[in-house]
Structure formats: C-alpha cells, structure tokens
Amino acid sequence: MKLLTHEIPTPWGKIATVVDVTNKPIVIGAGFKPLTKLIKQLPQKYLEFDFKKDSKLLGVTNIVRDWIDGDLDAFSELNVLQQGSEFNQKCWNALRKIKGGKVITYAQLAKNAGNIKAVRAAGSACGKNLIAPFVPCHRVIKTGGAIGNYGFGISLKRALLTHEGIHNWH
C-alpha cells in the first residue's frame, strides 16, 4: 500500500490529507488538524505502512482550490474511503449528497441514512468522520436551527458555512 500525505493551505488553516495511491487515489483521512494527529486517528491497518509526504497530490489540492474559489460541490469529485459501521457508512454517503450551499439537520441525516429515529447516531457518525471537510459534516445543523457541534470547533464550522453562502442558523 502506498500512502501519501500533504497539507493543503486554506483561508481557515491547513487541511491535512492522507491518500492511498496504490491504485487510483482514494482519500482515507483529511481534516483541519496536524498531520501527525490525523495519522494517529486512522484505523490500525494503515499504521503498518510508511507515510510519505508529497506536495504533488495536485488532484486533491486542485479540488480544494476549486472549493475555495466557489465550486461548492468540488469535493464530490474525490474518491474517499473510511471504515465504520453500516449506519455510519450510510450517513457518510448521505453527507456527500448534500449540495454545497445547503444544510440539513441531524434528523434529516438520520432519515437519509435509513433510520429516522437514529438522530444521535447520525450526530455520532459526523463526529467519527475522518474525511472532513471532503465528507461535509459541517453542512449539518440542529433541528431548531442552531449550528451544532463540529470536531474542529464551532467558529470554523461557521466560517465554512459562511464561505458556502449559508447564514441561516442561530
């Protein structure tokens, strides 16, 4: 397995990325956190391999730049893979279907993932998402309109939503 790492600068801080390039590039980890912390959060099976820094992950970098420049659905072009329960997988797939500039509630996420009663589990799936913002859990808010939590902080969630033209939370 060949794993490459890269840190992509954004107006909100660097997005650390880990990409499996063994065959076609697949993002297995991403987030607004130090690369060393991201790597430690990956499943054990990846920790057996060497991680090589590579500033040539241009495909991923270009998609992030496109998103910064206003293509709010640019992340849908990335191949992603993360381990998790069947329900988490359904939630993460549902998150990838939220169009840029739109938000849904945790209740809507649970429904879209196939279990309308699993609102807390949907929130938990957002918290376990190791490929944010490419799997855009920042686009999920509370039912009453409050912004809700975000693993990288509420101020960053506000900034990302504002970037995507969303201002209707309280």
Catalytic residue annotation = 137
By CB atoms closer than 10 A (0-12, 13-18, 19+), residue 23 is exposed
What span, in angstroms and rounded, lies between the C-alpha atoms of 129 and 85? 12
By CB atoms closer than 10 A (0-12, 13-18, 19+), residue 15 is buried
What span, in angstroms and rounded, lies between the C-alpha atoms of 12 and 113? 29
